[in-house]
Every structure is written in structure tokens, then in C-alpha cells.
Amino acid sequence: MSSFDQTNTEPSSRTMENDARQQMTGHGPVAAGEIAIGVVIGRASEYFDFFVYGLASVLVFPALFFPFVDSLTGTLYSFTIFAVAFITRPFGTALFMGIQRRWGRGTKLTLALFLLGTATAGIAFLPTYESFGALSIALLVLFRSLQGIAFGGSWDGLPSLLALNAPKQRRGWYAMLGQLGAPVGFLVASALFLFLHSTLSAEDFLGWGWRYPFFVAFAINVVALFARLRLVLTEQYTKLLEEGELEPIGTWEMLAGQGYNLFIGAFAALASYALFHIVTIFPLSWITLRATQSINDVLVVQVVGAFVAMAATIASGLIADRIGRRTTLTALAILIAIFGFTAPMLLNSQAAGQDAFILIGFALLGLSYGQSSGTVTANFTSRFRYTGAALTSDLAWLLGAAFAPLVALGLSMHFGLVAVSLYLLSGAACTVLALWINRRLKPLTLRKRG
């Protein structure tokens, strides 16, 4: 790790990036709207990769990679591997921050997105347990680990740049734009799985159909790469980053300088991140294992839920600009806690109740996730903000979302759905506490800057 904490700029690599930048600067100054488009495209492509894996963890992997155990145990094993990417993600952030300092932003982003696309597409070629035995599971773990490393490395600083250039009275709106890629990515992934699962026979879907979304992921990443490079390699973009001092620093320097802000920021977003996989991945597994309605019906509801989340995410920007981002997050944390108490009643009911849980959950997710970034990362001084924002997001995903499907499903099957209530309640409590601490510490932070 220490080797990545040193600044070592090679003229040849910088010259190559400058040449590429000159070839791609055929337009005027970078506007906030253009940055926003880059953010949405980039996040949507990344989340598509992750949601394709998440949905396959329920619909495919238990049967093909864990046929030697029952369906519940196979799904729990699958969710365990699902969490691996969130564990490796911070390491990917640290690794690629070092690559950026040495070889430049364009090289870093190209390597990260090609690794993400390759790791995701590689899963499409995996042999099943029936063909390769335990080696197939080991390869699945490997590719999932690479997904996490690449996801951490794909941080381009666009959300931070967007926040710095947002008008003061519209910060909530611009913060929302950086989060809109998540429901867009889930919408495309769930719609694709719905199409394949509903049009193919069960034999064809498990035989080859499930592999198609993983192939698509590589193509999407290539398109997203060029769209983002067109922006991040412009002279105007680089100038904006330099003016905001948004440059990568070493991880250990980050932790020593303002490490406390990482943890406050991660916990401030915990209610939203805890809810994230509870409404996207967990309900599909719960309903599938209990066979209370068809998989296709659940996927249809989740596609509708993705649209609901998109609308709610947009609405969060308007609400936050009116009442403040911190107030918005606090209110949503309380609503998520209340929603958690309804989980046993809704998920244990018929299809209408289960669908209501998904749709209400998506609405709360959009409202809360839309403002989950930026509220606390603004506490970072300019020097630490680029790396700090990336690591705060990594930590929030790890603490709040990584193990949510595994914990919720495992505990619910043994102790009942009250486990989901407690999981969401704990996330909401952490958010309220972190926001309170942040409010108390903010005057001290401002005095230090002054």
C-alpha cells in the first residue's frame, strides 16, 4: 500500500494523456449539465454490472454453482460471494488512486472500466459446478472480487466537482443527479432479466440465457468509458478539478488527516444503504424461496419500482433544496425505521402486500439515496475531498449494503422477518446519530478552515 502513497509522475504518461486531451477538446467550457450527464452515464453503467450480479445471485447461482445444498443454503452462499465485491472495493480505490497519480486520470478510468467490464463478462463464460466442481465457485469469487476492485477504481471525481460548482440554493438538486444512475442501472438490469426469464424456458434460461446480461455489461462499459473520457480529458474539466484541488492523495494520508469524516459520512448514509438491497435483492429471494408468487411477477413490480425510485430521487433534490439536505436525510431515516416495522406484515401477506413493500421501499430509497452523498463529504477540506468522497462511499456500501441480503435472509428464515425490521432500524439510528454528531462538529470544522 505504501507504494501507492507516493507521488511519482512520469512525463511520458502525462504527455500521452495531454495528447489525448487535446484531441477530445472540441467544445466549449464544461457546464454543470454536461458534468451531470457524465455522472449519470457513469453510475448507471457501473450499477448495471452490480445489479446483474445481484439478480443472478437469486435466480441463477444457487442452482448452477451450489446444487449440492438446498435452495436456501445455496442462496446464502451466493449472497456471501455477493458481499465480497464490497470488501475489495476500498482496496480498489486505494490502488487506482495510486495509478492516477502515476499515469493520469484517463489511464486510471480506462483500466478500471475495462477491468469492471471484463470481470463481469468473464462471469458469462464460467463453467458450472457440474462441469468444474469447486473450481467454478473459486472463479466466481475471483471475478466478483475484481468487480469490487474495478468499481472502487472507477471514481472520477465528477460528483464532487458537480457539488463544488452547484449554486448554493440548488445543492440538493445537483447532489441528486449523482445518485440517479443507481435506479437507472437497476431498471435496465431487471428489465433484461425479466425479458429473458419470461421468454425462455427454464432449461434455456439456466443453460445459456442468464449469461447474456453479463455480455451486455461489457458493451455498456465500453460506451460509458468513451462518454466519460470525452469529458474528463478536456482541458476545462482538468482546470475545474485543479481549481477545486480535487486530486488523489494517499490512503494513509487521508486517514491520518481527516479519517473521522470517513466514518461520520458512512454512518450518515447508513439508513439509505441498508435499505438499498433490502428492497432490490432481498424481496426477490424471500418470495422465490417461499414461492408465494411467480418470479416474473416480482420482476415486473421491481421494474415499476425502479421508475418509482427514479421519480423519488428527482423529488429528493427539490425537497432538499427547500428544507435542507441534513433535514431531509434525518426525516427519511425516521420514515425508513417506521417502514421497517411494516416488513413482517407486508412480506408475510399475499402478493399485494409484498408488492406494496417493494414499491414503498423503492420510493423511500429514491428519496433517501438521492441525498445520501455530499451532506457530510462537504466537511472535507479541498485537499482531502476527492479521495475522501470515494472512500466514504466505499465504507457506506460495506457497512450498510454489503451483507444486507445475507443477514436479512439468513435471520428471517430462522427468526422471522422481525430481523429485517431490526436491520433497518439500526441503519436509521446510525444515520440520525451520525448527522447529529456532524452538526455538532461542523462549527469546529469551519473554525479550522478559517
Q: Is residue 17 part of a domain?
A: no
* Measured distance CA(14)–CA(414) in Å, rounded: 56
Would 22 be classed as within a structural domain? no
Q: In angstroms, rounded to a whole number, what is the distance separating the alpha carbons of residues 190 and 358?
A: 14
In a domain, 399, yes or no: yes
Number of domains in the chain: 1
- Across the chain, which has 450 residues, the per-10-residue mean pLDDT values are 40 44 44 70 85 96 97 97 96 92 87 89 94 96 96 79 71 82 93 96 95 90 78 68 69 82 87 93 95 95 97 94 90 96 93 96 95 71 82 90 95 93 95 88 53
Residue 311 lies in a domain: yes
Instruction: Give the 3-state secondary structure of residue 348.
Output: coil
Contacts of 217 (CB under 8 A, 6+ apart): 48, 49, 52, 117, 120, 121
Give a yes or no: residue 149 inside a domain: yes
| Gap between the Cα atoms of 362 and 275, Å rounded | 9
Find the CATH number of the domain harbouring 422: 1.20.1250.20
Instruction: Answer yes or no: is 12 within a domain.
Output: no
Residue 419 belongs to a domain: yes
User: Is residue 333 in a domain?
Assistant: yes
Structural domain that includes position 339: 33-448
